[in-house]
Amino acid sequence: MVLVATSTIGLLAMTASAGAWPSESPPRAEPPAPAGQAAEATKNTANTVNTANTVTVAAVGDICGSACNQTDDVVAGMGADAVITAGDNAYNSGTRSEFDYNYDPYWGRFNDIVHPSPGNHEYYSDAVGYDDYYRDNGVHIGDRGEYYYSFDLGEWHIVSLNSNIDARSGSAQERWLRQDLERNTKPCTMAYWHHPRFSTGGHGDSSRMSDVYEALTDYRADVVVSGHDHSYERFAPATVDGTEDAENGLRQFVIGTGGRGLYSGRSSSDGPSEVFENDTFGVGRFELSATGYSFTFEPVSGRDFTDRVSGECHNANQGPDFGLSTDPAAVSVRRDARVASTVSVAASGGFGSAVDLAVSGLPDGVTGAFEPSTVTPPAGGTAESRLTLAASATAPVGEYTATVTGTSGELRRSAELRISVRPGGEVVFADDFESDRGWRADPAGTDTASTGHWERGIPEQTRSDYSGQLKQLGSAASGWDCLSTGRRAGFDYGEHDVDDGTTSIASPAITLPAGAPALTFAYSVGHGDNSTSEDHLRLSIREGGTVTTVFEREGAPAEVEAGWQRATVDLSAFAGREVGLLFEAADAATPSLFEAQVDDIEIRN
């Protein structure tokens, strides 16, 4: 099943020229309610849902707001596992001060479980306050300038999208969504963004996410949540043109009742509306199982309106089945050390058989052992196994993705486990570039590049208008700052890349101990199809007047998208000496688009 929530919240960040939609003012027209509009306060459907091993999600948009000091108590009373917001989180313009003084005193207590998306009001301040507030509070919001991302919760795959930027067919967001859905292994899927595809509220239907809506139905997603209209509305499962389709359609909820003043206006809609209410603040509560969902609209204290509905996931096995998950889903292990993750097997539909566990895709030098290797969950319950990973002293340092698989007869379920292998031993030198550690640009005074000089700071995302690819990432590998070749985006994606020569930057002196020191670092290279092998990102070791190249990534006549990767360099040949690191980036032949970034340097012995 796919559940989709819609809101004006969305992609992480974007430049002013990234194609933002025009802002909208509150609606005023008040047409009569559509024929056949449900009038009762509570309406139930006949569908039933397997409620074993459920997770609880609170969903709402259009929050702070005059009444968000009431809706926060509704969320707190749910005991939710996650909170999703459908945009317009802090009124009126989503500035940092509005987040700090309007939103944080009430909704800040959910920062450890919130998964936001931005609304059009966040873009009144170019989403800067949105970005600053959530990042400073450790909340994942996707790449800066994009603000779309996905995550798994129980047996659900949940996708946060951005309806404030381009989402048409072929756009970067729509292509990313299709790739994300193609990789998804969960039986149920939810999505959310700000502007609703269907609404009989004052703003009415919005077509800006139609191609995204269609992509979700192509992969048989289940539910979408939106905000924007300050009202509550439930629609029957439908295709993108509003045709009812119980087998493949998305059920859309508009939940713009988070605390901003409610709208009295009404519009006609192409969607099959079932329930509408615009006189009650409240929050949507989803109970998500491995086979479906149960939904309740929970009003603020003192109000009586509620609504309930349930449904089955389009892609779920409604018979005996099980789901598999890992916690944590990402682990870090140093050489000659161990780390563990708990593997949970959750039964549904009366399943109660033995499940054999296995792990594949481990890097050389890393082994995995389950304790126990076979588990039998009780009907409607969960069984756990401890997976211990052991890394040898020679395991290759890097980032890997393993697959944990459970097998029971013909049933086979899997979950990914991300593994980071780190060097062992003492830390000799480390720099995450969050502060100035004494790096010097153009240390020899020989740089020839006219633009794109190395600098430390918060990078700004650049995307090629030609290929649609990211060429410079808008977020560091960790934290805020990194090294970038011209960190600003400019008015054109090629304005601040490396041009006309070489740019270099050198570390402070580092004394390597005797033994086997190893260097690891994160890097990104993005270039256009006008690049050549003369273009490069290069790391050299400086020792006195001698410069030795130890790592290089060359350009090529192809479109290459930016993306953080990790590299490891053996520095044993320099053990016991004083050295320096020298990073160079070059546009060295014909003019071309070439960008490079570096972060999270560490030397261990």
| Band (490; pLDDT cuts 50, 70, 90) | low
288 close to 51: Cβ distance less than 8 angstroms: no
For residues 342 and 462, membership in a common domain is answered with no
The pLDDT value recorded for residue 524 is 95
Residue 7 pLDDT exceeds 60: no
The pLDDT value recorded for residue 327 is 87
Q: Is 190 exposed, middle or buried (0-12, 13-18, 19+ CB in 10 A)?
A: buried
Going 58 to 63 to 66 to 68, the CA torsion angle's sign is: positive
High-pLDDT (> 70) share of the chain, %: 90
Q: How far apart are CA 236 and CA 271, in angstroms?
A: 8
pLDDT in tens, 144-188: 889 999 998 988 999 999 999 999 999 999 999 999 999 888 899
Q: How far apart are CA 126 and CA 96, in angstroms?
A: 11
| Band (469; pLDDT cuts 50, 70, 90) | confident
Q: How far apart are CA 593 and CA 464, in angstroms?
A: 9
For residues 191 and 293, membership in a common domain is answered with yes
The pLDDT value recorded for residue 394 is 86
Q: How far apart are CA 584 and CA 442, in angstroms?
A: 9
Q: How far apart are CA 38 and CA 30, in angstroms?
A: 17
| Band (5; pLDDT cuts 50, 70, 90) | very low
Range of the domain at 369: 321-422
Q: Between the CA of residue 114 and those of 86, 151, 223, 263, 385, what are the distances in Å?
A: 11, 12, 19, 26, 28
| Band (22; pLDDT cuts 50, 70, 90) | very low
Q: How far apart are CA 60 and CA 78, in angstroms?
A: 13
The pLDDT value recorded for residue 353 is 95
- Phi-psi region at 544: left, alpha or beta (left = phi > 0; alpha = psi -120 to 50): left
Among the listed ranges 49-58, 220-229, 239-248, 452-461, which one has the minimum average pLDDT value? 49-58
For residues 411 and 469, membership in a common domain is answered with no
First to last CA, the chain: 49
Phi, psi of 369 (to 5 degrees): -135, 130
94 close to 118: Cβ distance less than 8 angstroms: yes
> Taking CA 333 as the corner, what is the angle to CA 419 and CA 601, rounded to the nearest 5 degrees?
90
Residue reference for tokens 């290459």:
560
Run of H or E residues at 179: helix 172-183
Q: How far apart are CA 35 and CA 576, in angstroms?
A: 83
Give the residue from 422, 439, 469 where a domain finishes: 422
For residues 391 and 489, membership in a common domain is answered with no
For the segment 365-387, the average pLDDT, to the nearest whole number, is 95
pLDDT in tens, 339-348: 999 999 988 8
For residues 498 and 375, membership in a common domain is answered with no
Compare 491 and 390 and report the one with higher pLDDT.
Answer: 390
For residues 218 and 355, membership in a common domain is answered with no
Give me the number of domains the chain comprises: 3
Residue 305 pLDDT exceeds 70: yes
pLDDT in tens, 589-604: 888 899 999 999 999 8
For residues 375 and 236, membership in a common domain is answered with no
Residue 104 pLDDT exceeds 70: yes
Strands 55-60 and 82-85, by their bridges, are: parallel
Q: How far apart are CA 257 and CA 111, in angstroms?
A: 20
Give the DSSP per-residue string, 78-99: HT-SEEEE-S--BTTT--HHHI
- SS3 at position 135: helix
Asked whether residue 124 is assigned to any structural domain, the reply reads yes
- Indicate the average pLDDT of the chain: 88
Give the residue from 263, 295, 312 where a domain finishes: 312
For residues 260 and 380, membership in a common domain is answered with no
Asked whether residue 63 is assigned to any structural domain, the reply reads yes
Residue reference for tokens 């682990």:
331
Asked whether residue 30 is assigned to any structural domain, the reply reads no
Residue 31 pLDDT exceeds 80: no
